[in-house]
Structure 1
Amino acid sequence: MNRYPVWKYAVILVALVVGVLYTLPNFFGEAPAVQVSAGKSTVKIDATTQARVEQALSAAGIKPELLSLDANSVKARFDSTDTQLKAKDAIQRTLVPDPNDPAYVVALNLLSDSPAWLSAIRAAPMYLGLDLRGGVHFMLQVDMQAALTKRAEALTGDLRSQLREAGVRHGGINRNGQSIEIRLRDSQTLAAAIRVVQDQFPDLQTTDAPDGTEYRLTATLRTEAARRIQDQALKQNMVTLHNRINELGVAEPVIQQQGLDRIVVQLPGVQDTAKAKDILGRTATLEMRLVDESSEARAAELGTGPVPFGSERYIEKGGRPVIVKKQVILTGDSLTDAQPGFDQQTQQPKVDLTVDAKGGRIMRDVSRENLKKRMAILLFEKGKGEVLTAPVIQGELGNRFQISGSMTVN
């Protein structure tokens, strides 16, 4: 005689069936695979990329067990590691004809060997860590002293500009390590300089001492300001690592802070150690240049004429060519802060940039002379550049300005 209603037994049965069903992928293990992801921000992974991968494999006589496309990559699964290596070589030859300028990242990986019908109902295996699955472990150290020195260099230029605007005459401003030294001729000038520092530079603390017949004012970063700069440097590096690890397609990477200046990166299941090290360790530089808007440049963009003298051709997002002038206006060295966000009026993605005093003067002069013209922001990696965005200069710029428009959120 049943003690409970039939519907309760039915609920328990359904729960057991669903539980067993979604546990099944853990019993199939993993199979060798090749993953293709974008090597540049201007490259898009879509059905065309999948078709090129399929064509490359077919030309090499290789039939994958599974070929799938997701938001950031194309993945092909194979029955053995030998086939995996042959497939990687075939895809590499097709998608990356120039190894010095790779548009795609072709990396070895492991994928679940679950049947297609289990994948169709989104039944995935439990992701295991390095201890059970193997993979790659990196320990990276952030150069905190370089971050503090760069901030001190930027403050030196800003302080020089503020003293000039306040009419405070000095005998010279120099950076000595992470401190700023100002030579002043008398006590009145010393007091005026201290007031400027206290009013305009809350991150600095000052000490003064006689220096012969003059005075020497020394400004250093406050402890809390230095700690904030170090925290920001650490967070920026972790964000950069997250973006680069996305190229490897690791399902559940571990990126965490260890101590004050170290970052631990664990990539379970990654087979291509050399590729992982290359992606995580590469450096990039940022440059700002004016877009060449002459008729010759327009013809070069359309492919009906040569690139004008003093300009270069780069590719913008979407594959459209842009002709930019060779003269570099600013580099990433002048950049002191960058904060992403959304424009409250247009709801488009934006980036608020802050540059040092020297960069602010350059931006002010260049923007004043080039209103309603385009300025390109280029990213260089391994000597190869690409245009991230090329917005129109809408007004006179300074130390702080905003970039918005054709950007993606990632």
Structure 2
Amino acid sequence: MRYPAWKYVLIIFVLIISTLYALPSLYPDEPAVQISGAKAGTTIDQSILQKAEQILKNDNIVSHDNSFTNNAALIRLGNSTTQLKAQDALRRGLGDNYVVALNLAPTTPEWLQKIGAKPMKLGLDLRGGVHFLLEVDMDKALSQRMETSSTDLRRQFRDNNIKFNNLSLNNNVITVAFANNTDRDSAMSFLRRNSADFTQQALVNADGPIVQLTYTDARRQEIQSYAVNQNLTTLRNRINELGVAEAVVQSEGNNRIVVELPGVQDTAEAKRVLGRTANLEFRLVADQNDQYINSYTGKYNEQPIPAGTEVFAYQSLDSGRQLLLQRNRILTGERVQNASSGLSQDSGGAEVNITLDSAGGKLMSDATRRAVGKRMAVLFIENKQKISYVTDPTTNVQTEVRTPYTESVVINAATIQQVLGSQFRITGLSSPQEAAELSLMLRSGALAAPMYFVEERVVGPSLGQENIDKGILSTEVGFILVAIWMVVFFRLFGLIANFALVFNLAMILTFMSWIGASLSLPGIAGIVITIAIAVDANVLICERIREEMRWGASPKQAIVAGYDRAYNTIFDSNLTTFIVAFILFALGTGPIKGFAVTLMIGIVCSMFTAITVTRAIVQLIYGKRRNLTKLSM
């Protein structure tokens, strides 16, 4: 009986690592409130923490061990009830410039945190999580699509030599004015042949014949359905970018989306990124910009602007500078295929590298070919909500009022030096954090319509604490009974197998913490099955050793043969189970994925503990004995 020294080193190393990184799961997190900036580049300093502490003190809310983490203030509280009261008080006191989100503060000892050890997350059914309800702005979805349609119609009429005097959009109605009825009839005939999206109404006003175009009911429903589905896809992509495991994103009704983040309450970044309905528009700076914008102050000089142009803030809302842009868009963020952030080699400032799809590249190329020497602006459009509180004078009860509004800022305006294609970069961003967040939103896909938070609440364990306790208790009882059975039937070998089982559990906890997986009740079921699989492997080994001894082999020969000959059977059975678990992970969602992840990790760990670890312990006990005649089994 010989065993390589490197395997002992490997086992000791894995045992130490597994023990250290499984320890944080013994330290439960405590309720907290996290304060971060509404924008990625906002800095949280000591003054904000002091202001927050004063707000809580005024409301008789006790906090403790407050600290900074990742440019955010973390305020620890005694229980969940106090946590909700503190969130409400801080939201009122700090205003809209800060995100006040529910969180869980770790209680893991500092020396464990320094080596990156953190507790395993629990799913919605075990601990709960955070529930968001977002409402899609369908009116905005229709108006945005109508703007695109009006631009397309103007281009189609010109490309097909259809004469018209004016084309305008108002209240989701496109009005096209013509010089005579012949031109109007020609345009209506063209629309009937080439577009089934509009209902047409021929009218006459003071200026002559017109036609009014509105979307058909079928087209409206199609746009609304697309808006919800596109926003669902974008939210899933953004959540994947954030690294939240086993999140639930699903539609509710015709215009609402439910987002549930299991096992975590740190919603500050998630809320900012998920709720930030931002998009980009690429427009040309109007040729009349210098006539209407003061070159010294950079401000609009309050005279009527030319038709087809708009004035926007330049660089920031607070800068006081403005730019006059053409109303027509070259393209929007919907055409962005990929985006990454970095630092400019020229200026050292933050930048976002953009890759457009083929259609977007053609639009950009066509627009810049005709505009070399002119300036192109990147307009950043963000839809937000302003939260205010109205007090009822009769009941003295405050009601939260949410008012949507839009912020539009030109973040960059540069001269077009050459024809641009599908790849270019955006500079002029205020910080690397803002560049990273913008690239994340563009990379994960554009939202088809703005969304607003209708509800945010903490979700309690869906199964009830009593059912959870019973589930955990049944796992513990099952483990103890299996351990007793192994000792009774296999004596010392059973005791060794039990040690391997404990080792196996520690490894599972460590791996799940590393990958950020959430443990749910189906995950516990996966752990129970893993225990059965690991025990089954040791039973096969022990029975094989007994069989070898019945056939006349010496104890040492039986040990070597038992492990060697049982290996193929154990490997085959575990491989087939792993394949099934992988299929469940690939095709399943939510709880099924949680079960599959736990089972796959458990299978890999059980192969290591049931074969390698137990073999090493048996070698230490029996390997040095010269006159070995009997095994304790």
TM range (shorter): 0.5 to 0.7
Residues 285 and 256 (structure 1), Cα distance of their counterparts in 2 relative to 1, 3 Å cut:
closer
Contact in 2 for aligned 1:57/1:87 (Cα 8 Å): no
- Please tell me whether residue 126 in structure 1 is matched to residue 153 in structure 2: no
Does the CA contact (< 8 Å) of 1:313 and 1:323 recur in 2? no
Q: CA deviation at 1:84?
A: 7.0
CA-to-partner distance for each residue in 1:124-148, whole Å, 9 max, x for gaps? 1111222111233345464678646
Shift of 1:277: 8.8
Structure 1 residues 403 and 338: alpha-carbon distance in aligned structure 2, compared to 1, 3 A threshold: farther
Within the alignment, does 1:349 sit opposite 2:349 as a pair? no
Structure-1-length-normalised TM-score: 0.58
Report the counterpart of residue 391 of structure 1 in structure 2. Answer: 413
The 5 A counterparts of 1:215-226 are: none
Aligned ranges for residues 179-258 of structure 1 at < 5 Å? 189=186, 193=190, 204=195, 230-231=225-226, 234-236=229-231, 239=234, 252=245, 254-258=247-251
Aligned in 2, Cα 1:250/1:160: closer, same or farther, shift over 3 Å?
Answer: closer
C-alpha distance in 1, partners of 2:155/2:52? 61
Measured at CA, do residues 380 and 82 of structure 1 come closer, stay the same or move farther in structure 2, by a change above 3 Å?
closer
Question: Could you tell me how far 1:116 is from its partner in structure 2?
Answer: 1.1
1:339 aligned residue (328, 335, 340): 335
* Matches of 2:110 and 2:239, distance apart in 1: 29
TM-score of the superposed pair, with normalisation by structure 2: 0.41
Deviations 1:223-245 (A, max 9, x none): 99x97995576334654697699
Gaps of 5+ in 2: 203-210, 304-310, 346-350, 358-363, 387-404, 430-434, 438-633
Within the alignment, does 1:265 sit opposite 2:264 as a pair? no
Question: What is aligned with 1:294?
Answer: 295
Report the CA distance shift for 1:392/1:68 in structure 2 as closer, same or farther (over 3 A): same
Deviation at 1:29, TM superposition (A): 0.7
SS in 1 for 2:119: coil
Q: Which residue of 2 aligns with 1:356?
A: none
SS at match of 1:168: coil
The one-letter code of the counterpart of 1:16 is L
Equivalent residue number for residue 29 of structure 2: 30
Aligned residues: 362
**Alignment-derived partner of residue 154 in structure 1:** 148
Change beyond 3 A, Cα 1:208–1:63: closer
1:389 to partner: Cα distance: 0.9
Task: Look up the equivalent residue of 2:412 and give its one-letter code.
Answer: A
Distance 2:294 2:164 in 1: 44
- Residues 57 and 253 (structure 1), Cα distance of their counterparts in 2 relative to 1, 3 Å cut: farther
Q: Which has the higher strand share?
A: 1
Q: Could you tell me which residue of structure 2 aligns to residue 67 of structure 1?
A: 67
**Of the candidates 84, 100, 106, which is equivalent to residue 100 of structure 2?**
106
Asked if 2 retains the 8 angstrom alpha-carbon contact of 1:34 and 1:87, the reply is: no
Q: Find the aligned partners of 2:93 and 2:199 in 1 and give their Cα distance.
A: 62
Q: From 421, 424, 427, give the equivalent of 1:405.
A: 427
Deviation at 1:390, TM superposition (A): 3.3
Q: In the alignment, is residue 167 of structure 1 matched against residue 161 of structure 2?
A: yes
CA contact (8 A) 2:280 2:381 kept: yes
Shift of 1:19: 1.4
Distance 1:148 1:133, change over 3 A: same
Work out whether residues 349 and 404 of structure 1, in 8 Å CA contact, stay in contact via their aligned partners in 2. yes
Shift of 1:114: 0.8
Per-residue CA deviation, residues 265-285 of structure 1 (Å, 9 max, x unaligned), is: 003467799x99999778789
State the shift of 1:115 in Å: 0.9
CA contact (8 A) 2:294 2:301 kept: no
**Which amino acid letter does the alignment assign opposite residue 334 of structure 2?**
A
Residue 319 of structure 2 is aligned to residue 322 of structure 1: yes
Question: Following TM superposition, by how much is the alpha carbon of 1:189 offset from its aligned partner in structure 2, in angstroms?
Answer: 4.7
Q: Give the structure, 1 or 2, with the largest relative contact order (CA under 8 Å, sep 6 or more).
A: 2
- What one-letter code is carried by the residue in structure 1 that aligns with 2:118? A
| Change beyond 3 A, Cα 1:87–1:207 | closer
User: What secondary structure does 2:116 align onto?
Assistant: coil
Q: After superposition, where does 1:10-89 map in structure 2 within 5 Å?
A: 10-41=9-40, 43-45=41-43, 49-53=44-48, 56=51, 64-65=64-65, 67-70=67-70, 73-76=71-74, 78=76, 80-81=78-79
**Could you say what secondary structure the match of 2:413 adopts?**
coil
Percent identity over the alignment?
25
SS of 1:256's partner is strand
The structure having more radius of gyration, on CA atoms, is 2
**What is the CA deviation profile of residues 43-99 of structure 1, one whole-angstrom value per residue up to 9, with x for unaligned ones?**
334xxx2444555578899885463432xx424253624997699589959xx9762
* Counterpart code for 2:24: P
Distance 1:181 1:239, change over 3 A: same
In structure 2, relative to structure 1, the CA distance for the partners of 1:376 and 1:231 (3 Å cut) is closer
Partner of 2:361: none
Distance in structure 2 (CA, Å) of the matches to 1:153 and 1:375: 18
Counterpart CA distance in 2 for 1:315 and 1:337 is 19
Match of 2:131 in 1: 137
- SS where residue 114 of structure 1 aligns? coil
Secondary structure in structure 2 of the residue aligned to 1:44: coil
CA RMSD of aligned residues (A): 6.5
Q: 1:38 to 1:388 in 2, by over 3 A?
A: farther
8 Å Cα contact 1:67/1:77 also seen in 2: yes
SS of corresponding position for 1:130: coil
Report the 3-state secondary structure (helix = DSSP H, G, I; strand = E; otherwise coil) of the residue aligned with 1:392: strand
Partners of 1:57 and 1:91 within 8 A in 2: no
Greater CA drift, 127-136 or 255-264: 255-264
* Pair 1:114–1:245, CA change in 2 (3 A): same
